[in-house]
Amino acid sequence: MTDPVSPTNKEPDPAALYRLLDAHEIRYQRYDHRAVFTCDEADGVVPEDLGAVHSKNLFLRDKRGRRHWLLVTACEKPVDLKAVARLFDADTLSLGSPDRLWTHLRVTPGSVTILALMHDAAHAVELVIDAAVWSGASLRCHPLVNTATLVLGRDQLQRFLDVTGHVPRVIDIPARGGA
């Protein structure tokens, strides 16, 4: 394990994210709000008329814990993890533990975000984005903490990914129950 730091004694640093975004002139809109832990809670505190895809982010690992993915899809899509595992050529998929999440992305549960890839310098986490999300004009995401939401245009999100060196794998994510 690269870093035994536990989420219980470390806090994410959104100021570092804002410095990175500003240094690379990546534009965003910011909405501060109370802490939210689910998509439904976020819907109640962020304006609905933003025209941005409300993202759901799943930090996943394979059965052996050797491979990790950040799966970004729309909040309203129930993900079929068994079907996704087949797409990833993984035995089974499960959510990564809070410690594993902290080690790789330096965020805590409830704050998982595509923007946490700024901490994945080793590129140990593969980014997978649902094609429906990628086709949207903009995306809603947390700035490493769940007390704010940022809206980034897709071009600005691409600039962020270029800065971090992450290339998204854009695919149609299978929905549970065919939804």
Task: Show the 3-state SS of 68-131.
Answer: EEEEEEECCCCECHHHHHHHCCCCCEEECCHHHHHHHHCCCCCCCCHHHHHHCCCCCEEEEEEH
Please, which residues bridge with residue 151 across strands? 29, 140
Q: For residue 8, is it within any domain? A: no
User: In total, how many domains does the chain have?
Assistant: 1
Q: For residue 24, is it within any domain? A: yes
How far apart (Å, rounded) are the C-alpha atoms in residues 115 and 26?
A: 12
pLDDT in tens, the chain (179 residues): 333 344 455 788 999 999 999 999 999 999 999 988 888 888 878 777 678 898 999 999 998 888 999 999 999 999 999 999 999 988 889 999 999 999 999 999 989 999 999 999 999 999 999 999 999 999 999 999 999 999 999 999 999 999 999 999 999 998 887 65
Q: For residue 3, is it within any domain? A: no
- DSSP one-letter string for 6-59: -TTS----HHHHHHHHHHTT---EEEE-S---SHHHHHTTS-GGG--EEEEEEE
Q: For residue 177, is it within any domain? A: no
Q: How far is CA 29 from CA 33, 46, 141, 172, in A?
A: 13, 12, 11, 27
How far apart (Å, rounded) are the C-alpha atoms in residues 151 and 140?
A: 5
Q: For residue 4, is it within any domain? A: no
DSSP 165: T
CATH number at residue 141: 3.90.960.10
Q: Which residues of 97-108 are buried (b: 16+ CB within 10 A; e: fewer)?
A: ebeebbbbbbbb
> pLDDT at position 7, please?
45
Q: For residue 68, is it within any domain? A: yes
Single pTM value for the model: 0.89
Which structural domain range is residue 68 located in?
Answer: 15-37+50-169
